[in-house]
Amino acid sequence: MNKKVMIVDDELDILVSLKTVLEKRDFEVTTVANGKDCIKEIEKGFRGIILLDLMMPGMDGWDTINEIVNSGYINDVAIEIVTGMGIKDMQTLGVMEPYIHDYITKPVDIKQLINSVEKCNLFLDAKKRKCS
Average pLDDT over residues 104-125: 91
127 has a pLDDT exceeding 90: no
Q: Which of 9-13, 39-43, 55-59 shows the lowest mean pLDDT across its residues? A: 55-59
β-bridge mates for residue 73, sequence order: none
Q: How many domains does the chain have?
A: 1
Q: What letter represents residue 10's amino acid?
A: D
Report pLDDT for 1.
52
117 has a pLDDT exceeding 80: yes
Average pLDDT over residues 84-106: 71
DSSP, collapsed to helix, strand or coil, labels residue 105 as: strand
Residue 25, Cβ neighbours under 10 Å: how many? 13
132 has a pLDDT exceeding 90: no
Is residue 2 within 8 Å of residue 42, measured between CB atoms? no
Report pLDDT for 76.
87
92 has a pLDDT exceeding 70: no
The 10s digit of each residue's pLDDT in 54-88 is: 999 999 998 999 999 999 999 889 999 998 875 55
Q: pTM score, two decimals?
A: 0.90
Structural domain for 23, as ranges: 4-131
Q: What are phi and psi of 18, to 5 degrees?
A: -70, -35
Q: CATH number, domain at 46? A: 3.40.50.2300
Report pLDDT for 86.
54
The H-assigned helical ranges of the chain are: 12-23, 35-43, 61-70, 90-96, 110-131
d(CA 34, CA 92): 19
